[in-house]
Structure 1
Amino acid sequence: MIPLRIVLASLACLYPFSLAQEPKSDPDKTLIIISTSDIHGNLDNFPRLATLVKQYRAKYPHVLLVDSGDYFIGNPYVDDCEKRGEPLTILMNKLGYDVVTIGNHDLDYGQEALRDHIKGMPSTKFVITNASLSPTLENCFSPYVSIPIKGTSISVGVIGLADLQTTDVRRMTGISWKLPDEEDYKGITDRFRLHHNTINVILSHLGYGNDLKMMKYSPNIDVILGGHTHVMLPSGHLRTGTLLSHTGHSLSHVGVTEIIFSTEHPVSILSKSTRAVSLNEEIPDDPEVKEIVRRFSGNPLFNQQVGVAGEEITHVTIGTLFCKAIQQASHSDIAIYNRGGVRSKNHLNKGPVTIRDIYELEPFREKIVTCSMSKADIEQLILSKFMSPTDDEGGVLEVYCSGFSYQIMDGVTPSITSTLKNGVIYTVAMGDYLCSNFIFPQRGNGKPTGIDVRKALIDYLKQIKELLNPPPSKLPIIKDTTFAL
């Protein structure tokens, strides 16, 4: 999971927001864009979001509700619904989203489920500009959307950009996409000029770093509403004429962007601002939407206790738990697991561990597979992932393990050492995502065991009863300072 990072800027904008404030401008000449991103199945704050949207629509005639992707994956009430994702479809349709793009996790249920989600929101426009879609998703997306502002000659142009590089390759059949480069960014404004829109908006699931590049190479885009990296910008960034908004994840906050325009000839934008609005108790629940959430959140199965955390458990310990559980369940020599497959939480709180906790940590319904691998194969897998980090994160430990240990020397050319032995062929347990998506000689050729990762976790926790953090071990990543000045 990409970690939450807070960008400290104008923290005063995090105060509870009230529509009791008098508008600074003529409501008829103001566009309000309410934006969400990286909802990840969180249902709890939809009743407050519904109230906020209703309040704005009652006060302003021009309001757009948009989302920048990753509405799926992260909540068992959504992920494990009989029809996967259905609660989000019903709620987003109920609130009347105007324009939506996709994130890398919105394909995790499969292309058919995403298609059904789109069909369940018939009044919403879905837009993706940097991808060519499969026949399954044909006619579901547009590369560009133009929305007229009623009563004016002004229109709002919207494109959608997504980073799909971590999407499971098994869900990408027939889909091709491209991460924009400098030349692509420079050409973005041409698309807006072609359609003669006054207000230009990008729904971006490219991440904070790529959004900054876009601002550098594509000046004078009016607004970028970003997501993917779970960044919080309390009052946004305004650079090169472009306003950038990021509002974290899990629907704790939403973006409220205000654009004041003139209808005089030539029509123009007079000002623009954005703020992250907390969906806290200061905003009352919408009763009708609250009832919909209650209907989907009543499964008693998720409250069953399967173990206990004797202290606050770190993400590394949770990752090791995954490995030990699948190693034992599959009777393998060693086990490895990808960091991104341990979802939802940076830690487990002290106290009971429930089935809901397990399902939140492993929302993908992975199966255990095994591969026969040598020391060189395993080290190649670990090191190849370390050597292809994202721009935002740098070199990051991507593989948890049990049955052995390793260290990486992070220098000009990273190297790896491990306790594995030469001349031995190991039976290695892993999740089927890692087997299909990481680069190593046995890629895609794992032997199915038929065992659910979730079941392995539950059985292992019931066996050990209490989960504790182990004593600190050697640092897995050693920085090479040989050439440091």
Structure 2
Amino acid sequence: MTIIHTNDLHSHFEHWPKLSRYIATTRAAALARGEGVLVVDDGDAMDRVHPLSEATDGQANVDLFNAAGYDAATIGNNEGIGNPHDTLAHLYDHATFPVALANLFEADGTRPVFAKPVVYRTVAGIRVAIIGFTAPYFDSYRPNGWSVRPVADILPGLLADIRGSYDVLVVLSHLGLPTDRYLATHYPQLDVIIGGHTHHLLPTGETDQHTLLAAAGKYGEHVGVVTVDVAAHAVTAMRAATVAVADLPEEAEDAATIAGYQARGTALLAAEPVADLPQALTIDNDGPSPLLTAGLAAIAAGGHTDLAALNAGLFLGDLPAGVVTKADLHRVLPHPMHLMVTTLPGTELWRLVMEMEKNKGFLRHFHFTGMSFRGKQFGWLDYRGLTVANNRDVYVDGEPLVPNRLYRLTSLDHYLFLPFFPTLEIVGDNELLFPDFLRTVVGRWLAAQYPLK
């Protein structure tokens, strides 16, 4: 049997025409040889960085998978954390493929309607069991109304329950390569682990005793193919390969198709006006700016705090004067980030501000990617309600900071993942505010300040 697999597509639709044709031709060739075929995805297929995913709440992604004939998928953190609870709950209502997901639960402990702990498929007489796992970001799933559990709490019992019901056991693991290797070592019952999350590429796979690890990198730049030989209901051989999508043939209409995805998403978002600005709000990565000031006011209002901190690099452009639409907000703030309110005593707030001040100069031109950031550089870091004098004296709303007083500061969950502000994680009492993204909060504030005429 042949397993065609993708992972971490992140709505990179620029690769989809070539990738989907490859799926179709590879499936047809395998079927012509009399082989069974499965097409699966390992999660993070959807990413709201693309306007079509944002405008359709991921339904466009599901439609593409339906058309390509996927047989199963699991979710990544972009589907799980990047969507409000109800959006994820209904994301797969019209999917023609099942979702294998064993470690996500409703807050009351019941399984989501859309998720199956095990998906069974029989192809060419071969019984295949597919188990899916997503990365257990406990602190992010909880405020979004979900309960996510460690694999170790789920897998042993699940393996016992399904023993003898399959010929090939496949795990869709959106957990990362180190965890995949751990699973292969400690659970020899697993035949194939199709991995993702850490965007790793295993060109010819990796074998740990009996288990084959496979992964196809990121963004649809590669597609994976696993071949499994089965005799007498037992696996006899396995092989893995990846194909570079850039090397696949291009067709004349591909460019128009790709541009159409972008244009359709942008048009849908542009049809939703938000605010009417009397003048442009500009951004400057090297210092204070009107758009950063507005962003600070917006998150302070969203977090119901007097204090806020935010970096200019989050804003990928200016907002022009006139009507601002959801397309403008998405263009400027494409990041899947949520507000975070941190409560901490004055002594620790002082330490946090000192960390920010120490790193300010370095971060202004610091380039990085990942951790929900879809921009290029961190940019200028600024505050609302906080000032610093003589390098070490911190003032709150113009008054000296009081060491034993509790303060509340609004920033972003993104800052927890960065190594520059350890006080947030070490001593901060952090509340993540779901489901709104930063752009939604900014849009709401702009609508209140500059209502549509």
TM-score by length of 2: 0.66
Alignment correspondent of 2:402: 423
Whether the 8 Å CA contact 2:7–2:45 is kept in 1: the answer is yes
Alignment correspondent of 1:253: 222
Q: What is the distance in 1 between the residues matched to 2:259 and 2:91?
A: 17
Q: CA offsets, 1:454-483, max 9 Å, x none? A: 66999xxxxxxxxxxxxxxxxxxxxxxxxx
Once the 2 structures are TM-superposed, how far is the Cα of residue 283 of structure 1 from its aligned partner?
A: 3.1
Q: Which amino acid counterpart does residue 155 of structure 1 have in structure 2?
A: R
Alignment correspondent of 2:28: 58
Alignment correspondent of 1:214: 183
Mapping 1:292-303, distance limit 5 Å: 294-298=260-264, 299=266
CA RMSD of aligned residues (A): 4.8
1:104 counterpart = 2:77: yes
Q: What secondary structure does 1:64 align onto?
A: strand
Once the 2 structures are TM-superposed, how far is the Cα of residue 116 of structure 1 from its aligned partner?
A: 2.7
Q: Which amino acid counterpart does residue 258 of structure 1 have in structure 2?
A: T
Q: What is the distance in 2 between the residues matched to 1:236 and 1:246?
A: 7
Q: What is the distance in 2 between the residues matched to 1:36 and 1:96?
A: 13
Once the 2 structures are TM-superposed, how far is the Cα of residue 68 of structure 1 from its aligned partner?
A: 1.2
Alignment correspondent of 2:359: none
Q: What is the distance in 2 between the residues matched to 1:326 and 1:308?
A: 10
Once the 2 structures are TM-superposed, how far is the Cα of residue 141 of structure 1 from its aligned partner?
A: 1.6
1:120 counterpart = 2:83: no
Alignment correspondent of 1:12: none
1:234 counterpart = 2:203: yes
Q: What is the distance in 1 between the residues matched to 2:6 and 2:290?
A: 33
1:86 counterpart = 2:64: no
Q: 1:277 aligns with which of 240, 243, 251?
A: 243
Q: What is the distance in 1 between the residues matched to 2:314 and 2:242?
A: 28
Q: What is the distance in 2 between the residues matched to 1:381 and 1:177?
A: 33
Q: CA offsets, 1:354-380, max 9 Å, x none? A: 9765333x244x569797862425758
Once the 2 structures are TM-superposed, how far is the Cα of residue 206 of structure 1 from its aligned partner?
A: 1.4
Q: What is the distance in 1 between the residues matched to 2:144 and 2:172?
A: 21
Alignment correspondent of 1:443: 431
Once the 2 structures are TM-superposed, how far is the Cα of residue 328 of structure 1 from its aligned partner?
A: 6.5
Alignment correspondent of 2:149: 178
Once the 2 structures are TM-superposed, how far is the Cα of residue 40 of structure 1 from its aligned partner?
A: 1.7
Q: CA offsets, 1:412-449, max 9 Å, x none? A: xxxxx9875852666734247879x9773463699x9x
Alignment correspondent of 2:133: 161
Q: What is the distance in 1 between the residues matched to 2:90 and 2:43?
A: 16
Once the 2 structures are TM-superposed, how far is the Cα of residue 93 of structure 1 from its aligned partner?
A: 1.3
Q: What is the distance in 2 between the residues matched to 1:427 and 1:249?
A: 38
Whether the 8 Å CA contact 1:51–1:284 is kept in 2: the answer is no
Identical counterparts, % of pairs: 22
Q: What secondary structure does 2:169 align onto?
A: strand
Q: What is the distance in 2 between the residues matched to 1:129 and 1:115?
A: 15
Q: What is the distance in 2 between the residues matched to 1:289 and 1:147?
A: 35
Change (3 A) 1:444 1:240: closer
Once the 2 structures are TM-superposed, how far is the Cα of residue 130 of structure 1 from its aligned partner?
A: 2.2
Q: What is the distance in 2 between the residues matched to 1:277 and 1:46?
A: 14
Q: CA offsets, 1:99-135, max 9 Å, x none? A: 11111221322232223321121x2011111233368
Alignment correspondent of 2:324: none
Q: What is the distance in 1 between the residues matched to 2:239 and 2:387?
A: 50
Q: What is the distance in 1 between the residues matched to 2:139 and 2:98?
A: 22
Once the 2 structures are TM-superposed, how far is the Cα of residue 211 of structure 1 from its aligned partner?
A: 1.0
Q: What is the distance in 2 between the residues matched to 1:34 and 1:106?
A: 21
**Is there any run of 5+ residues in structure 2 with no aligned partner, and where?**
271-279, 318-327, 356-370, 395-399, 417-423, 447-453
Whether the 8 Å CA contact 1:371–1:429 is kept in 2: the answer is no
Q: What secondary structure does 2:246 align onto?
A: coil
Change (3 A) 1:149 1:277: same
Q: What is the distance in 2 between the residues matched to 1:184 and 1:137?
A: 13
Q: What secondary structure does 1:213 align onto?
A: helix
Q: CA offsets, 1:73-100, max 9 Å, x none? A: 242323431x311221211111111111
Whether the 8 Å CA contact 2:77–2:135 is kept in 1: the answer is yes
Change (3 A) 1:428 1:85: same
Change (3 A) 1:87 1:334: same
Q: 2:122 aligns with which of 148, 151, 175?
A: 148
| Larger mean Cα displacement after TM superposition, 320-329 or 199-208 | 320-329
Change (3 A) 1:231 1:256: same
Once the 2 structures are TM-superposed, how far is the Cα of residue 188 of structure 1 from its aligned partner?
A: 5.7
Q: What secondary structure does 2:14 align onto?
A: coil
Q: What secondary structure does 2:163 align onto?
A: helix
Whether the 8 Å CA contact 2:283–2:291 is kept in 1: the answer is no
Mapping 1:333-352, distance limit 5 Å: 335-336=308-309
Q: Alignment length, in residue pairs?
A: 371
Q: CA offsets, 1:4-63, max 9 Å, x none? A: xxxxxxxxxxxxxxxxxxxxxxxxxxx111111122222111111111011112101222
Whether the 8 Å CA contact 1:103–1:164 is kept in 2: the answer is no
Q: What is the distance in 1 between the residues matched to 2:354 and 2:119?
A: 42
Q: What is the distance in 1 between the residues matched to 2:63 and 2:178?
A: 32
**Is there any run of 5+ residues in structure 1 with no aligned partner, and where?**
1-30, 384-395, 407-416, 459-485
Change (3 A) 1:283 1:359: farther
Alignment correspondent of 1:476: none
